[in-house]
Amino acid sequence: MVQKETAQAQSQRTLDAVQEMFETEGAITSREQLEQILEETLLPPNPRVRTGSLPNGLQYTILPNAVPAGRFEAHLQIMAGSADETEEQQGMAHMCEHVSYMGSRKRERLFGTSSQTNAQTGTHSAQRFLCSGVTHYLHRALTATLYS
Ligand SMILES: [Zn+2]
């Protein structure tokens, strides 16, 4: 709860700084000045977050979370969506979601494991999501998410 209040206070400081920037004529005269304001007001990065890239270019972010114990979540975001379709292709991004993930056998292997999984396709990205209270299924879940 304390962290949430701190995050809200930091977000408010950022909004206040940006609002002041727009309301005060001539307040921001350089990109460096804007970057300094943003640096001073943005949330600091979480030191527990690990990020990287696999040899195939897949970028990942991992945040260990001990509470609740024995639980994991995985999210896959594909930076393509319906905005990338031509007029003749309308609906293809969403169809790909259903053919490649929602209807995949790898995803079906998660049924009955107490895992929850879903996917969605938007204008600029598509996401696959799953969570489970049984870490025993982590490999199966990641396989379904990444290789379906
Ligand atoms: Zn769908």
More confident residue, 138 or 91: 91
In single-letter form, the type of residue at position 45 comes to: P
d(CA 40, CA 120): 35
CA of 96 to the centre of ligand 1 (A): 9
pLDDT higher than threshold 70 for residue 39 = yes
Dihedral sign, Cα of residue 107, residue 111, residue 113, residue 116: positive
d(CA 74, CA 80): 19
CA of 144 to the centre of ligand 1 (A): 16
Rg over CA atoms, the chain: 21
CA of 95 to the centre of ligand 1 (A): 7
What integer pLDDT is reported at residue 66 of this predicted model?
84
pLDDT higher than threshold 60 for residue 1 = no
8 A C-beta contact, residue 77 and residue 125: yes
pLDDT higher than threshold 80 for residue 78 = yes
Q: Which of 37-46, 59-68, 114-123 is the most confident on average?
A: 114-123
User: Of the given ranges (3-7, 43-47, 61-65, 86-90), which has the lowest mean pLDDT?
Assistant: 3-7
CA of 94 to the centre of ligand 1 (A): 6
Per residue in 47-76, pLDDT (tens digit) is: 999 999 989 888 989 998 888 888 889 999
Query: What does the block give as tokens for 147?
Result: 């290789």
Query: What does the block give as tokens for 78?
Result: 């594909």
Average pLDDT over residues 30-34: 79
User: Of the given ranges (8-17, 39-48, 91-100, 133-142), which has the lowest mean pLDDT?
Assistant: 8-17
